[in-house]
Structure 1
Amino acid sequence: MNRDRRVRIYDLHAWAGISLGLFVFVVSFTGCLALFDHELKTWEDPAKRLPLPESIAPIHDQFTNWVNNSVNQNKANQQEIRFVSLQYPSHYEPYYLGRLFVKNESGKSENYHQRWRADNAETIPERGEGLTTWLLDFHRDLMWPTTLGGRTAGRTIVGVAGIILLLSIISGVITHRKMLQELFTLRVNRSVRLKWKDVHNILGLWGIPFYTMIAFTGAFLGVVAILVPLTGALIAKGDTEKLRAVIVPPSTEAAHVKATSFSLDELYQLKVTDTDARPKRVSIVNWSDQNAIYSVNYPADNKLQRTHVVEINGVTGDILPTPEHLRATAVNRTQGAITPLHYGSFGGIAVKFLYLMLGLSLCVMIVLGIMVWVERRLNSPVGTKEKKHYLRIGQLTTGMVFGNVLASVAIFYFDKLYFGGEENRLFYTGITYFLTWLLTIVYAFSQLNGYKTTRIFTLNLSLGLFLLPIINYFSTGNLFINQLFEKPTSADWVDLTFIVSAIILFLLYKKLPNQRAEEKRKSNKEVGTKLQTQ
């Protein structure tokens, strides 16, 4: 490849990182937290720490009464049941969870949910969605406003982050002519810019397989939401009914004849595979109708598949032929493996921590790439604009990066200190998140010394994480130290992780300089010269 073409590709790599790198950082960092959604939900909600009995209590009657009462209470709205679902108790959610989706006369969809204890089927107080829902959904779709296209648009935008990362990987590989040498090059005694550049290159080159996989699966999960309908529209040649039949297979119509539903307790005992696996969840269409269908989710036969779906007659309990779109074809298995592969949910906690380390290395690589670009233009004649222009980019990077991390920590505090209505928990979680992020950016722009600002933010992060287990103790009475030596839950391990992370960040804070090394040497030299003249 000639030099001019290589320079153009390098410029593409650099400008993709500068213009969109912070966006990719936000998606990547929130993805690191989204890996532990089950563990964080246990920390967030004390109900998830309930013991899971060996034999769970019957639920069919309570669930049926709840569905019927919920509909009867709102008969004035002429609500139509779309479908209902029941989630059976599991390790991470040791209770029954019922959901009811209805459509009122105005066409608006509404949903209700209720939880019951696994040991005696008593109801569990409602707790609104908040901390974990925010972290997971912000990663998946940025909590994109409905007025601007809603979650589908947001997920597509996040998918673009995967495409940007793929572009950066390809352009970065092309521009590195000495890849084998750079895999092991770390010039610790050179300038700060060269050290940052070496770390950026090492992380980027060693992490290529993981980063490529994450970028591809992320792009697929995001962009497929809009590409599939577009492709289908081309195939169907504008025939919307044909398109709908391809994307959303038609379901069995209700007979409008009342019938006694097959017992959900008997369903839990029903085995449809060679294993002893119990159902995880059942979704029901045509509730209490003669044509009721149970879609039952069983654990998949391999870790890279989320579930194995079986359809059952909702009146007789007979197993029905598997529809085409649910069959274990090569295409369905490939598509089903994308999500477990992206979130590391196929190999237990060890794989999640491996994903976390690699995901954080991606975040560090992105930030260092931006700061190398800024540092070179601030302290050498390469830049074509005024110094303050590059200073602002550096301040923005510091504020955006630490703001996103501090905002994530802030909503952990908010979760334990919130005392309002549960229906508003998620809304105020978002307010806290963005307000913390904004204030951090404003503070970063008010400081001229980026090195000192980084130290301050690192110390605040360390203290914030260290105090979280204490806040959790006063809020829930759960002291992780006592539990670790008895029967620890996921919440206890989360608290321990906070403490360990706080210690690591504090040690990092002690190592971080207050100013640029070259400026410090210059300042010391000037002081020495002044003393000599005196």
Structure 2
Amino acid sequence: MQLNPELVKRSLDAHSAIGLVVGVLMYLICLTGTLAALAEGFERWEQPAIPELERMAPDAIATAMENFQSDVEAQPEALWVVLPTEQIPRVHVAGTDQEFWTDPEGKLLEPPTENWTHMLRELHLSLHLPHTPGLIIVSAAGAMLVALIISGLLAHPRLFKDAFKLRLGGSRRLEQADIHNRLSVWGLPFHLMIAVTGAFYGLVGILVYSAAAAWYDGDPEAMFDAVYGADPVIQAQITALQPAEAMRQLQARHPDVSPIYLVAHKAGTEAQFMEIAASVPGRLAYSEIYRFDAQGNYLGDQGLTNGPGGRQFLYSLYRIHFGYFGGWPTRIAWLCLGLMLTAVSVTGVNIWLAKRGIDDWIPRAWNGFVWGAPLALALSALGAVLMALPALPLFLATLAVTLLASLRRIDTRHMARLLQGLTALTLAVLGAGHLAIYAPAEHGHYLWAINLGLLLTAAVFAVVALLEQRSQAAAAPSATTA
């Protein structure tokens, strides 16, 4: 591309300024988002003793709802039964603030654990800040990532021409720049998709209120109804809900769909009705929602997979962002592409630090954060899963200790190697310990995949630490000779 040199210079300055501001934030969001692609597997791994099944009988669903209603004190306005899927072949029933796993017959079991996997999801979605401000900050980072991608393309006219140019082992700035630029090109469609969909979720509230004020007399509910479809208006005699009949009618009318959850809205009132969300083969939308009255009579669908194109698109963004389509191959692809985006966020800051060339607290703190975050995630998982310790305080304490240790006048490469080695050790203990406590033959063979993945990741961190040690050892004689 032939661009004005002044435009290139201004774009490069803008790219550097934006990248510096959001570097730390972007790294944490990308790292946790990458792992969140496997969150459903981690949820099973964290609580492996829960019974699993491929399909729950309609009568067992009704039993689970009855058991929940009889056990809780305050009846919730909405009662959910989350059904088994390929990713989580388990059932749980939930109200407003209570939730329980169930067995295949609908008997209530222990509540779902809200510990390490929950912490991981909340770190990515809202940074564990109050939900709305946190969501807006994360989404604003997505919007800034869009700006980084665009300014980066304009600032590097030879980006695509040099797509396979990789200079390793020489100047650190050139090495980091080549890694940054190559991964940016190779993952460009994915990076742009993640940035746009991530920005949408936090900024949609602002967009909705603005559009509602312009076109719906300030009524956001009316706008949501227009976009996603309005709830059915029902006034009927109060009767016992018949979820089993609703499931049977869905099976008869749409035998090809896969139910995800059943929810009873406004239960115990004259306006009560039920919805069943189900994934539809060949459709990217998260689900279609089928509606039934209290007796289980079919009322129609919400048109999320066969309605207006805009509605189908908006209801597909969640699956696109997290890779929740195409089964486990897509999850693994999202994991690899997410790691690429995480590396891009790290190398972007590394380029600036190498160009800056000043050995002060900034590079030491950045080094401690980059290598301390994986250690904090691993150590919090070890404490939460094997010792039932609260994950978030352990994560924050580990990250704080690594940052404080890194701020001491210790060589950054030595500190990086130390943190890499500790992460490798922690992951190895976590994977081996989990296999020792929860035998895959008894709790599910999927545990082999997750724990072997942890052991493989531990090996990768150990190799990186070893290579770093050899690199330093090789550089030491040269420095002495000079």
TM-score by length of 2: 0.90
Shift of 1:56: 4.1
Aligned residues: 480
CA distance 1:227–1:521, shift in 2 (3 Å):
farther
* 1:511 and 2:463 correspond: no
CA distance 1:57–1:228, shift in 2 (3 Å):
closer
- What is the 5 A alignment of 1:9-48? 9-48=11-50
Q: Alpha-carbon deviations, 1:227-253, whole Å to 9, x = none?
A: 222222232344678567657876456
2:77: which partner in 1?
82
1:156–1:225 CA contact under 8 A, matched in 2:
no
| SS of equivalent to 1:52 | coil
1:301–1:308 CA contact under 8 A, matched in 2:
no
1:84–1:285 CA contact under 8 A, matched in 2:
yes
CA distance 1:489–1:307, shift in 2 (3 Å):
farther
Shift of 1:497: 0.3
Aligned partners of 1:134 and 1:53: how far apart in 2?
27
1:339: which partner in 2?
318
Match of 2:407 among 445, 453, 459: 445
2:304–2:315 CA contact under 8 A, matched in 1:
no
CA distance 1:219–1:244, shift in 2 (3 Å):
closer
- What is the 5 A alignment of 1:265-414? 267-268=247-248, 270-271=250-251, 273-315=253-295, 317-323=296-302, 328-378=307-357, 387-388=358-359, 391-414=360-383
| SS of equivalent to 2:255 | coil
Structure with larger Rg: 1
1:77: which partner in 2?
none
Aligned partners of 2:160 and 2:221: how far apart in 1?
55
* 1:7 and 2:20 correspond: no
1:115: which partner in 2?
101
Give the unaligned 5+ runs of structure 1: 75-79, 102-110, 146-150, 379-386, 421-427, 527-534
Shift of 1:265: 6.2
Aligned partners of 2:82 and 2:211: how far apart in 1?
34
Aligned partners of 1:194 and 1:467: how far apart in 2?
37
Which 10-residue stretch deviates more, 170-179 or 516-525? Answer: 516-525
Shift of 1:58: 3.3
1:271–1:278 CA contact under 8 A, matched in 2:
no
CA distance 1:441–1:303, shift in 2 (3 Å):
farther
| SS of equivalent to 1:20 | helix
What is the root-mean-square deviation in Å for CA atoms of aligned residues? 2.9
- What is the 5 A alignment of 1:41-56? 41-48=43-50, 50-52=51-53, 56=57
Q: Alpha-carbon deviations, 1:237-283, whole Å to 9, x = none?
A: 44678567657876456758431222426625632555343532111
1:340–1:346 CA contact under 8 A, matched in 2:
yes
| SS of equivalent to 2:124 | helix
2:127: which partner in 1?
142
1:107: which partner in 2?
none
Q: Alpha-carbon deviations, 1:197-237, whole Å to 9, x = none?
A: 22222112222122111111111222223322222223234
Shift of 1:187: 2.3
* 1:493 and 2:478 correspond: no
Shift of 1:441: 1.0
Aligned partners of 2:465 and 2:435: how far apart in 1?
27
Aligned partners of 2:327 and 2:270: how far apart in 1?
41
Q: What percent identity do the matched residue pairs reach?
A: 22
2:23–2:345 CA contact under 8 A, matched in 1:
yes
TM-score by length of 1: 0.82
Letter in 2 for 1:504: V
Give the unaligned 5+ runs of structure 2: none
Which 10-residue stretch deviates more, 289-298 or 10-19? Answer: 289-298
Which 10-residue stretch deviates more, 517-526 or 36-45? Answer: 517-526
CA distance 1:164–1:450, shift in 2 (3 Å):
same
Shift of 1:410: 1.7
1:293–1:312 CA contact under 8 A, matched in 2:
yes
